[in-house]
Chains A and B, each alone.
Chain A
Amino acid sequence: MEFIHLLSLGDQGWGDEMLRATMVTIMVSISAMCIGLFVSIFGTIAKLSKNRLIRAIGNTYTTVVRGIPELLVIYLLYFGFNNAVMSIANSLFGYNQYIELPVFLIAALAVGIISGAYSTEVIRGAFLVVPRGQIEAAKSVGMNKFLVFYRVLIPQVLRYALPGLGNVWQLTLKDTALIMVTGLVEIMRQAHIASGSTYSPFTFYMSAAILYLVLTTASSMALNSAENWANKGVKREKA
């Protein structure tokens, strides 16, 4: 069996490279998700802001990032980000050396910014579905703004947002396939390299597909149990 040889571990096969690449995919996805969640805090605040300008900035962010192909967002960041950082460094500090940002960082940032736009929408949505009455009830027993936010709003927002954030995670995981164009050797790029070198594209793209399936399945199982935990106290709707 040819493919067993191709996918074997060690120097003669590509199995160990594929596994290493899977680790990279996981690392990038996690970093990107964290970056995205961080960004989405500001995104949500901006989109719920009373200030029109800030709200417009938030809306522009989510509309633009969600309306442009992920591939282009990644390309733009990959090629544009270094330039931008360098020109900022130059104008602020007069620093005119090449500043090199690690590929991993750029990749995580690029996917993170995409992921952040989707997370923003999810979290904003969750804020809006927390019943107003529960907030009023909190006020009516004398809770101040901080307590209302921290004791009533946040726990509920998390619960409502969790399924949506689970979807964003799956999206993020799959989007990392596109960062192959930055040269970072994650699953997709490794499959690309290996299939090019061995002229066995089916073997390697199929392996990649299976690796992604394993990742998405494992994480959706984890997400389900997280949801069950967060949904304590909420009656399941009858099917």
Chain B
Amino acid sequence: HNGPWTTVKIGTEGAYPPWNGTSASGQLEGAEVDLAMDLCARMSVECVLVAQDWDGIIPALQNGKYDAIMAGMSITSERMEVIDFSQGYATEPASFSTLSSSSVASLGVSGNVNLDLGPSADVDALKAALNGSVVGVQGSTTHENFVRDVLGSSVTLKTYDTQQNLELDLAAGRIDAALSDSGSMEGFIASGNGSDIVFIGPKLGGGQFGPGVGVGLRQSDSDLKDMFNKAINEARADGTLATHFTKWFGKDISM
């Protein structure tokens, strides 16, 4: 990109509430949408939000369809090979959920696990409980990576194009359990459509899930990365970062 940034296009999915969703008036909405507006104001650039299916969200960034991704995308080493990230702005643990009537529901909820800290008994218990079941995740996410790496062939993996379709199929009983970020699933449970869904096992962080969610950027745009880092620092310092996430998640998941 030549010259100073005046307009920044930001790609998001619009199907991952409360991070980013679509309202009944057809507008994008969610914590990241508010945050994007806030950050752009701080960077003194004009912001345009672009909706993009998750499948193509990284190729479209590389294509130049937009300049940044804010789509609840976790920072991982795998993604770092093809794109760059700003510093993280939020972190939300992942957890498994299931229907309360399901046999795996008896596992119950256990504590927090940081996968960076090595093997955990909670994870082993989870693996044992899920043995032979069908587990759904949104495709090409950290959640998918976790299921592949840790649960491997002990479960049948189903991947979905959106978090919402994953939620629909969990509620419909087509899968035994779903792995997703806790905040999204809490939102679904709270919406009333998934009222018989319960969490099981530990809340997972670190490891495959990476250090948190950040702004995805092209590797060539280091100037834009600096701008975002600076703006995020400011937003964190004056508390607006926390305000945005509290508003949408009902708790502060900012980092």
On A, residues with C-beta under 8 Å from B are 10-14, 16-17, 20, 78-79, 82-83, 86, 97-100, 103, 181, 183, 185, 190, 193-199, 201
Tell whether, in the assembled complex, residue A197 and residue B23 are in contact, meaning their CB atoms are under 8 Å apart. Answer: yes
Question: Is B162's beta carbon under 8 Å from chain A?
Answer: yes
Q: How far is the CB of A79 from chain B (nearest CB, A)?
A: 5
Interface residues on B, range: 20 to 34
Given A13-B24, A79-B59: A183 touches B52 (CB 8 Å cut-off): yes
Choice from A13, A103, A197 contacting B17 with Cβ under 8 Å: A197
On B, residues with C-beta under 8 Å from A are 1-2, 14-15, 17, 21-26, 50-53, 55-56, 59-60, 63-65, 162, 164-165, 167-168, 171, 188, 191, 193
Q: How far is the CB of B53 from chain A (nearest CB, A)?
A: 6
Q: How far is the CB of B108 from chain A (nearest CB, A)?
A: 26
A234 to B119, CA, bound (A): 81
Q: Is the interface of A mostly helix, strand, loop or mixed?
A: helix
Q: 9 A–B contact pairs at CB < 8 A?
A: A16-B26, A17-B24, A20-B26, A181-B53, A183-B50, A196-B15, A196-B164, A196-B165, A198-B24
A79 to B63, CA, bound (A): 7
Tell whether, in the assembled complex, residue A183 and residue B165 are in contact, meaning their CB atoms are under 8 Å apart. Answer: no
Tell whether, in the assembled complex, residue A11 and residue B25 are in contact, meaning their CB atoms are under 8 Å apart. Answer: yes
CB-based nearest A residue for B194: A199
CB-based nearest B residue for A10: B25
Of residues B1, B2, B164, B168, which shows the largest number of chain A Cβ atoms within 10 Å of its Cβ? B164
| Residues in B whose Cβ lies below 8 Å from that of A78 | 56
Tell whether, in the assembled complex, residue A86 and residue B64 are in contact, meaning their CB atoms are under 8 Å apart. Answer: yes
| Residues in B whose Cβ lies below 8 Å from that of A79 | 56, 59-60, 63
A199 to B172, CA, bound (A): 11
| Residues in B whose Cβ lies below 8 Å from that of A185 | 26, 51
CB-based nearest A residue for B50: A183
| Residues in B whose Cβ lies below 8 Å from that of A194 | 22, 24
| Residues in B whose Cβ lies below 8 Å from that of A13 | 24
Tell whether, in the assembled complex, residue B21 and residue A82 are in contact, meaning their CB atoms are under 8 Å apart. Answer: no
